[in-house]
Amino acid sequence: MPRLTIDGREIEAAAGQTVMEAAKDAGIFIPYFCWHPQLSVPGNCRICVVGVEDKGGEWVDIACNMPVSEGMVVYTNSEKVKARRKATLQFITLNHPVDCGICDKAGECTLQDYHYEYNGERSVSVDAKNHETKHYDLSDRIVLDNERCIQCTRCVRFTREITGSAGLAMGNRADHSLVRPSEDGAFGRDAYSDNVIDICPVGALLSKAFLHKARVWYLKPTASVCPGCARGCSVNLWHRKAEWRLRAPGMRAAHESIDRVTPLENPAVNGPWICNKGRDLARVFDRARAEVAMLKGRPTDLEGALANARALLAAAKRPVAVVSSWGSNEELAAFRDALGARFDAYVKADHEPQPGEVLEDSLLIRADKNPNTAGARALFGERPLAIPREADLVLVWGEGFDFGLVPAGAKTILLNAWLAPENGHADVFFPVSAQTERSGTYTNFAGVTSAFSACFPKAAGVADAQALFPLLARADGGGE
Amino acid sequence: MSRKPFVRKQYWNEPEMGLWERAYLPEILRGLLITGGVFLRNMGKWITGRKGALTTYYPEETRWDYAAGNRGKHVLTRRPDGSPQCIACNMCATVCPAKVIEIEAGFDPADAAHPKYPVKFEIDYSRCVFCGLCVEACPEDAIRMAKEVPHLPSGDRWAMWLGREELLAWQPQSDVAKPYPPAPAGRRAPGESA
């Protein structure tokens, strides 16, 4: 366990660590562009230079590739280091177009931050800047701006070391280096390709879906869990801050929506990555919502629907429930506590894999496309979905249920968040809140529980399943 | 510790009232005569249709003597080809203290020099405070303010939103949308030959 001193602080580092890692663990910040904790060390950006005290005076080298040694004395802010960093930033921005005004990365750009922190001066170059391809379609999801690229090669290393698709490479030399996709189109097929947008330290790689949708300071992240598969990756859902809500007539649909999805680093589940399906969560949540309770297709209010559902429940001799694997642990527990004794409960898969979707791989994606199957099975057991023929009341919670399974003559109660044709056929229909409108937890396939929080308010006519189940049970003899 | 006795502070401009002022009612009457006189004279001029009343009857009547630096309605300036100079960077919307500017940006890969442009540019004049910070913040000199005020009296608040086309097309008598100064020598747009 080598002991070293960084900026006058004595630190114990693990053997084999680099100065960068030791400093990061100790909470000392050293700037970096090309270094990434999950990727190899190319040492090409040179911004992480630190000074090391030696007999002959202070010498300067990059922290990301320097192993710690016993008794090392490191400075991260000496005059020599500051001057070197400043010169490095001048060099990196030599051909950078500085078009921050129209760059989607502005506001969360590492180069922008470091420039203000460590350089703060105009370019000293008198030469004209190189012009490169401004908009290069890397895939149908990502657009590349070669002028903004600082050739850190993070994206290239990501496709080689994390996903293995080897979909990107550097071509040409020196200040004409360009990131280019491989000719076999492997990058377009890479199910994790959008991660290169996050790891790009500048605005060279941009999401086409988010392109020019909002400046990043208009948005705020809400910690959530991706419901796309049983992995349950931690994600940030970015949506407009309340004060930046759009009000102009015709500017945007009245409902709130997710502007973009980024991974939320969680070493226990997904590390710093998520798959492309997780980036498109807005498509799941922007579907038309069911907002009115119905009795066989006739609109009613929640009270009326509750009274009818209670009557059905009281009359039922053999009630069966099909619970949602998209329900949170709290909702599932509420169902078990309130109605578990009355209902014979089965767990259903709300979403099945879609054609063309990656079914399963060794990195993150799981074959079960529901977030809380493990949590639901822990409460209601694991058995195939087979509704007994003598069932006379079927409560269906969530989507993806085949109503052909309901025995003839049985009454149905349906809880769904989205508009669907079967909503109108149910004897009682309750609109329930979507994941973005409530807080809770999901348990993933490995038993790790992650929490999500609400980011949008729910509509007035929409019920919370967690609050609905105790109300449903109240008048029923089998309840509390 | 002894407490300091309270001494009323004497100001240099203490009001001094004589017996007449302290009698109260005569001064009240004098004040009412002044305001009443102004009111009646104004009223008389308005009824008889003569000019010179102190009050401007907005919106039927607007003032002609706005100061040259008055901050009135916004004007979006244009490039020589007529497209808006705006690059939809949202600096004006971000700096706006009343948060009345809303921009929807579009992407045009064919125009290499200006790939980002405003599809919608909306200003809510019912909330605008006419502070001029948007003009200060604009890096492209794309938004300016004319001295004339917008003529928007309406019973409908949504009618007080003005969009891109109104702001581009509106040309006041003294044209604030002067030609944009030429690009400094030595800078050329990508694709343009030297």
B14-65 pLDDT, tens digit per residue, is: 878 889 988 999 999 999 999 999 999 888 888 887 776 777 777 777 777 7
Task: Let me know if residue B36 belongs to a domain.
Answer: yes
In the predicted model, is pLDDT for residue A480 greater than 70?
no
For the segment A320-328, the average pLDDT, to the nearest whole number, is 95
**Cα A160 from chain centroid (whole Å):** 22
For the four alpha carbons of A18, A22, A25 and A28, in that order, the dihedral sign comes to negative
For the segment A47-75, the average pLDDT, to the nearest whole number, is 93
Going by C-alpha positions, the residue among A424, A344, A232 that lies closest to residue A335 is: A344
Tell me if chain A has a CB within 8 Å of the CB of B161. yes
Residue B174 burial class via C-beta count within 10 angstroms: exposed 0-12, middle 13-18, buried 19 and up: exposed
Contact list in B for residue A243 (CB cut-off 8 A) is: 99
Identify the band that residue A1 occupies on the pLDDT scale cut at 50, 70 and 90: confident
- State whether B48 and B85 are in the same domain: no
pLDDT at position B4:
84
Identify the band that residue A270 occupies on the pLDDT scale cut at 50, 70 and 90: very high
Query: Inter-chain contact B90–A215, Cβ cutoff 8 Å?
Result: yes
pLDDT at position B1:
58
Helix axes A465-474, A329-339, angle to 10 degrees: 0
- State whether B108 and B148 are in the same domain: yes
In the predicted model, is pLDDT for residue A149 greater than 80?
yes
B55, B84, B105 — which closes off a domain?
A: B55
- State whether B120 and B91 are in the same domain: yes
- State whether B141 and B79 are in the same domain: yes
Tell me if chain B has a CB within 8 Å of the CB of A253. no
Q: Kindly report, as residue ranges, where domains of CATH 3.30.70.20 are found in chain A.
A: 100-105+124-207
pLDDT at position B62:
75
A373: left (phi over 0), alpha (psi -120 to 50) or beta: alpha
In the predicted model, is pLDDT for residue A479 greater than 60?
no
**Mean of the per-residue pLDDT values for chain A?**
93
Identify the band that residue A478 occupies on the pLDDT scale cut at 50, 70 and 90: very low
Residue A284: φ, ψ to 5°: -70, -45
In the predicted model, is pLDDT for residue B191 greater than 60?
no
In the predicted model, is pLDDT for residue A254 greater than 80?
no
Contact list in A for residue B87 (CB cut-off 8 A) is: 101-102
Nearest CA in chain A to B114: A102
Tell me if chain B has a CB within 8 Å of the CB of A249. yes
Q: Please give the interface size between A and B, counted as residue pairs whose CB atoms are below 8 Å apart.
A: 51
For the segment A128-146, the average pLDDT, to the nearest whole number, is 93
pLDDT at position B10:
83
The torsion defined by the Cα of B12, B13, B17 and B21, in degrees rounded to 10, comes to 180
pLDDT at position A64:
95
Pair of tokens at residue A124: 């000293």
pLDDT at position A268:
95
Alpha carbon of B4: minimum distance to chain A alpha carbons (Å): 51
In the predicted model, is pLDDT for residue B181 greater than 70?
no
Alpha carbon of A248: minimum distance to chain B alpha carbons (Å): 7
**pLDDT tens per residue across span A403-442:** 999 998 899 999 999 999 999 999 999 999 999 999 999 9
- d(CA A270, CA A205) in angstroms, rounded, equals 22
- State whether B43 and B87 are in the same domain: no
pLDDT at position B169:
82
Question: Which class would CATH give A3-92?
Answer: alpha beta
For the segment A288-313, the average pLDDT, to the nearest whole number, is 94
Q: Are A225 and A266 spatial neighbours (Cβ–Cβ below 8 Å)?
A: no
- d(CA B40, CA A61) in angstroms, rounded, equals 86
Going by C-alpha positions, the residue among A425, A419, A380, A382 that lies closest to residue A406 is: A425
The torsion defined by the Cα of A454, A457, A461 and A465, in degrees rounded to 10, comes to 10
Strand partners, A171: A178
- d(CA A18, CA B64) in angstroms, rounded, equals 73
In the predicted model, is pLDDT for residue A256 greater than 90?
no
Task: Let me know if residue B13 belongs to a domain.
Answer: no
Pair of tokens at residue B14: 């203490």
pLDDT at position B178:
62
Beta carbons within 8 Å of A355's beta carbon, 6+ residues apart: none
- d(CA B54, CA B43) in angstroms, rounded, equals 10
pLDDT at position B6:
87
The architecture of the domain spanning A218-285 is Single Sheet (2.20)
Tell me if chain B has a CB within 8 Å of the CB of A59. no
Q: Are A13 and A72 spatial neighbours (Cβ–Cβ below 8 Å)?
A: no
Beta carbons within 8 Å of A118's beta carbon, 6+ residues apart: A31, A47, A82, A85, A86, A89
**pLDDT tens per residue across span A204-253:** 999 999 999 999 999 999 999 999 999 999 999 999 998 998 988 887 65
Query: For chain A, what's the residue count?
Result: 480
pLDDT at position B185:
64
pLDDT at position A477:
44
pLDDT at position B194:
46
- State whether B92 and B149 are in the same domain: yes
Domain CATH for B120: 3.30.70.3270
For the four alpha carbons of B47, B49, B52 and B54, in that order, the dihedral sign comes to positive
pLDDT at position A318:
93
For the segment A384-392, the average pLDDT, to the nearest whole number, is 90
- State whether B108 and B165 are in the same domain: yes
pLDDT at position B179:
58
Query: Inter-chain contact A248–B112, Cβ cutoff 8 Å?
Result: no
**Is the N-terminal amide bond of B59 cis, ω within 30° of 0?**
yes
Report if pTM > 0.90.
no
DSSP secondary structure string for all residues of A329-384: HHHHHHHHHHHTTTSEEEEE-S-PPPTTS----SSS--S---TTHHHHHHHH----
In the predicted model, is pLDDT for residue A290 greater than 50?
yes
Nearest CA in chain A to B115: A102
Contact list in B for residue A247 (CB cut-off 8 A) is: 102, 124
Query: Inter-chain contact A217–B186, Cβ cutoff 8 Å?
Result: no
Q: What is the ipTM of this complex?
A: 0.85
pLDDT at position A419:
94
The CATH code of the domain at A100-105+124-207 is 3.30.70.20
DSSP B2: P
pLDDT at position A262:
97
Contact list in B for residue A248 (CB cut-off 8 A) is: 102, 120, 122, 124, 161, 163
Q: How many domains does chain B have?
A: 2
What percent of chain A stands above pLDDT 90? 87
Going by C-alpha positions, the residue among B189, B115, B117 that lies closest to residue A135 is: B115
> Most B CBs within 10 Å: which of A206, A215, A218, as the mutation test of the B interface?
A215
Query: Which range of residues forms the domain containing residue B50?
Result: 18-55
In the predicted model, is pLDDT for residue B130 greater than 50?
yes
**pLDDT tens per residue across span A157-204:** 999 999 999 999 999 998 899 999 999 999 999 999 999 999 999 999
Beta carbons within 8 Å of B3's beta carbon, 6+ residues apart: none
Nearest CA in chain B to A250: B120
Task: Let me know if residue B8 belongs to a domain.
Answer: no
Alpha carbon of A280: minimum distance to chain B alpha carbons (Å): 20
Contact list in A for residue B88 (CB cut-off 8 A) is: 102, 212
pLDDT at position B154:
84
> Most B CBs within 10 Å: which of A216, A219, A247, as the mutation test of the B interface?
A247
**pLDDT tens per residue across span B102-127:** 999 999 988 888 999 999 999 999 99
Task: Let me know if residue B113 belongs to a domain.
Answer: yes
> Most A CBs within 10 Å: which of B102, B143, B158, B166, as the mutation test of the A interface?
B102
Q: Kindly report, as residue ranges, where domains of CATH 2.20.25.90 are found in chain A.
A: 218-285
Coil, strand, or helix at residue A411? Answer: strand
What percent of chain B stands above pLDDT 90? 42
Contact list in A for residue B186 (CB cut-off 8 A) is: 128
- State whether B93 and B157 are in the same domain: yes
> Most A CBs within 10 Å: which of B94, B101, B104, as the mutation test of the A interface?
B104
Task: Let me know if residue B42 belongs to a domain.
Answer: yes
- d(CA A216, CA A186) in angstroms, rounded, equals 30
Nearest to A243 among B89, B99, B190 (CB): B99
Going by C-alpha positions, the residue among A366, A380, A93 that lies closest to residue A231 is: A366
**Cα A76 from chain centroid (whole Å):** 33
Residue A480 burial class via C-beta count within 10 angstroms: exposed 0-12, middle 13-18, buried 19 and up: exposed
Task: Let me know if residue B65 belongs to a domain.
Answer: no
For the segment B181-189, the average pLDDT, to the nearest whole number, is 58
Tell me if chain A has a CB within 8 Å of the CB of B186. yes
In the predicted model, is pLDDT for residue A141 greater than 50?
yes
Q: Are A195 and A273 spatial neighbours (Cβ–Cβ below 8 Å)?
A: yes
- State whether B50 and B93 are in the same domain: no
CATH number of this structure's domain A293-474, picked from the four choices 2.30.30.40, 3.40.50.740, 1.10.1740.10, 1.10.3720.10 = 3.40.50.740
Q: Kindly report, as residue ranges, where domains of CATH 3.40.50.740 are found in chain A.
A: 293-474
Whole-number Cα distances in Å, A276 to A192, A264, A361, B44:
5, 14, 13, 75
pLDDT at position A21:
95
Q: Are A330 and A466 spatial neighbours (Cβ–Cβ below 8 Å)?
A: yes
> Most A CBs within 10 Å: which of B85, B103, B108, as the mutation test of the A interface?
B103
Contact list in A for residue B91 (CB cut-off 8 A) is: 101
Query: Inter-chain contact B94–A134, Cβ cutoff 8 Å?
Result: no
**pLDDT tens per residue across span A345-369:** 999 999 999 998 999 999 999 999 9
Tell which wins on pLDDT, A252 or A120: A120
- State whether B79 and B51 are in the same domain: no
Whole-number Cα distances in Å, B136 to A100, A376, A434, B141:
18, 57, 43, 9
Query: Inter-chain contact B186–A128, Cβ cutoff 8 Å?
Result: yes
- The interface residues of chain B toward chain A in range 10-49, judged by CB-CB distance below 8 A, are none
